[in-house]
Amino acid sequence: MNIDEKLEKIQEGTLEIVDIEELKAKLEKEHPVAYTGYEPSGKVHLGHAITIMKLKQLQSLGFKIKILLADYHAFLNGKGQLDEIEKTAEYNKKCFQALGLSEDTEYILGSEFQIKGRYSLEYTNNVYKLATLTTLKRARRSMDQVSRHDDNPKVASVIYPLMQTADMPALGVDVALGGMEQRKIHMLARESLEKIGEEVPVCIHTPLLHGLDGDDKMSSSKGNFIAIDDEEDVIKDKIKKSYCPKGEVEGNPIIEIAEHFVYPYHETLLIERPEKFGGNLELSKDELCTMFDNEELHPMDLKNAIAKYLIEFFRPAREFMAENYKDE
RNA sequence: CCCGCCUUAGCUCAAUUGGCAGAGCGUUGGACUGUAGAUCCAAAUGUUGCUGGUUCAAGUCCGGCAGGCGGGACCA
């Protein structure tokens, strides 16, 4: 596969690549490094899965993948005590493996290099340098979509983006991948890394999924997600309860799930529909959107189809988790 | 270090001179829709930050502690 073909593939399902020319240059390398950082989370859900799927694709295109289990970031973001967070990180690592990343994926616990080992001194020095270059307002603003809500915001919340920035040279990354909520941190990082003379990574942003309740963002804290290891009945139940207004494509979480978890892997979606409602359909992405928009496809029929696909899509992950992860 | 104010349901906040701890939102369950939502009906939810005291009776008054917010002082 040549570089232009790779570029095109990488762009699929992303909202932006900053910068595309830089990415092109990175693709000259035999094994460019791509990374995503995740705050350990009680549940790994569809939102996380979007980025993991993209990482899998990058892996298949020759990228070396590093996953940062960002324990300190979670700690700074008020997610609990470090020992708890590290248990959660172990669980998340299993989840990521369950989604099919290959054996040579590298999982790195943030604290391992951020505060331990010889490199931590250089790391800390970078964080301090960044601290002198970054205004409070800019740092705060970068955290708009990332910070946990806090009536009494802590200094931790402005250290967070600085550490995230310092992570990039520490991990030697060519590409930083994240959801759109990472954008402001990434843009700040690109500016700052340039200033301190470190390599500036390409940033790739994927869309955020709406919550099943129609909220702007699917997130663990809001409970409006489907987890990658949810049981079949749970998936059915959650889909059934989801917000899905008739005729409305925009911001419809069920339509979004079809876009991100069905169509990248199947040309068409089979919708099984009772005869009295018109019988079965096999729809391409465009057909589905058009029909739904025209109210020719009832939400319930769509939901049934999506639930079925999701159950199949995550079957391997679910089985992997059942076998490899014993909750204590 | 000193002074003042704040802390009540998951959230935002009520509660009269001390007199059965409440509302809205959210949650859950039903009704209505061939989904969800909206709407209607119903229900659940509390160590009133912790602690000691006064009182027949304390969310309410007094003392101590913790956390938070604001100010002052120190530096000078």
pLDDT digits (tens, 9 = 90+) for A283-296: 999 999 999 999 99
pLDDT for residue A148 = 81
pTM of the model as a whole: 0.90
Tokens of residue A108, six digits = 């790195």
Q: What is the mean pLDDT of chain A?
A: 92
Out of A17-26, A195-204, A210-219, A231-240, which region has the weakest mean confidence (pLDDT)? A210-219
pLDDT for residue A325 = 81
CB atoms within 10 A of CB A234: 13
Alpha-carbon distance of A196 to A5, in angstroms, equals 34
Residue with tokens 């990180």: A89
pLDDT band for A217, please (50, 70, 90 cuts): confident
Tell me if residue A36 falls in helix, strand or coil: strand
pLDDT for residue A327 = 62
Peptide bond before residue A19 is cis, with ω within 30 degrees of 0:
yes
Alpha-carbon distance of A316 to A322, in angstroms, equals 10
Q: Which nucleotides of B are covered by protein (CB under 7 A)?
A: 12, 27, 34-37, 68-69
Alpha-carbon distance of A325 to A290, in angstroms, equals 42
Alpha-carbon distance of A310 to A261, in angstroms, equals 7
Q: What is the pLDDT of residues A35-93, one digit of tens each?
A: 999 999 989 999 999 999 999 999 999 999 999 999 999 999 888 888 889 999 999 99
- Give strand letter and number of the nucleotide nearest A223 (CA to C1'): B27
* A234 Cβ contacts chain B strand, under 7 Å: no
Q: Residue A20 CA to nucleotide B34 C1', Å?
A: 47
- Give strand letter and number of the nucleotide nearest A240 (CA to C1'): B35
* A154 Cβ contacts chain B strand, under 7 Å: no
Count Cα atoms within 13 angstroms, Cβ side, for A190.
Answer: 16
Residue A276 has pLDDT above 60, yes or no: yes
pLDDT for residue A220 = 82
